[in-house]
Amino acid sequence: MTTNSQAMPATIRFDGQVAVVTGAGGGLGRSHALQLAARGAKVVVNDLGAARDGTGNGLTAAENVVAEIRAAGGEAIASAASVTDPAGVQEMVDQAMREWKRIDILVNNAGFLRDKSFTKMTLDDFRAIVDVHLMGAVICTKAVWEIMKQQNYGRIVMTTSSSGLFGNFGQSNYGAAKMALVGLMQTLSLEGEKYGIRVNCLAPTAATRMTEDLMPAEVLALLTPESVTPGMLYLASRDAPTRAILCAGAGTFSRSYITLGDGVHIGERPDAVEQLVAKLDTLADRSKEIVPSAGFQQSQMEVAKALAARKQ
């Protein structure tokens, strides 16, 4: 007798592992921290306790999530370190190492919004968003990188966004920072591969403080943080991929890719730009598109076409 049913996959657990989740005092980060703890991880709950625009600070938000985890029988400690403060981040990492002797997972989730059109946006507003989303992830990742290398194991999840991947009006600062995280992930996944470190991006859509004014209530009701967290759990698991961009929202999951078209060779000639314009349809052809394994594949393709053209 045949059946179309698939065997259930093994339950994903994090027993014996230590996870650091930034921005975990509410919204997505809280959901991530609670679910990691429920599946056995010891969790560092990091949250600056800031408002949606990044102002203010306090430990209460992180402590409340820690209390939830402990009440459910899990282990957690709180940190109010700003991800933009290298000394504070280092102390957070040192605290985890003193407590549990290892760090297996880092979820870079901390952030806030300062949305304005580019015309109205100040450089300070642009810089503040880049500092927390991009540099905050860099600082936290740098603080755990050598630990993970020594362990020969690590899982790092960057929180990117559709604003970076595809653009959103009024979010030039946020989109720039979020797309930069994809570039960071692409390179760190290559550098971490031989050390057992896998690095991925999660692009969530969720109803949080950051999105509550952007969508109708009936839509926000579908976009729960809890519907996104399974994607994070997969990217943080032992069987995680590396260099993946996983989009998640309302219980729907999809993959996004940075691709490279096959290209056209024109060569160095006085009318090169005119020839380029004449071949725009060929340039836009996606039938031979690839997902490069590294940046050098672009130059490989370009040089190969140039050499082939010489032989004609």
Given the residues 174, 195, 234, 257, select the one marked as catalytic: 174
Of 23, 172, 170, 45, the C-alpha closest to 111 is: 23
Main-chain phi, psi angles of 131, to 5 degrees: -60, -45
218 contact partners, CB below 8 Å, separation of at least 6? none
Neighbour order of strands in the sheet with 154-159: 76-79, 42-46, 18-21, 105-108, 154-159, 197-205, 245-249, 252-256
Neighbour count for residue 280 (Cβ, 10 Å): 10
Q: CB neighbours (10 Å) of residue 219?
A: 13
Cα–Cα nearest to 19, from 39, 1, 4, 3: 39
Helix (H) or strand (E) segment spanning residue 303? helix 296-311
Euclidean distance between CA atoms 135 and 126, whole angstroms: 13
Q: CA 94, CA 102: separation in Å to the nearest integer? A: 10
Task: Let me know if 195 is a catalytic residue.
Answer: no
Distance CA 203, CA 188 (A): 18
- CB neighbour list of residue 305: distance below 8 Å, 6 or more residues apart: 263, 264, 265
The residues assigned a catalytic role are: 174
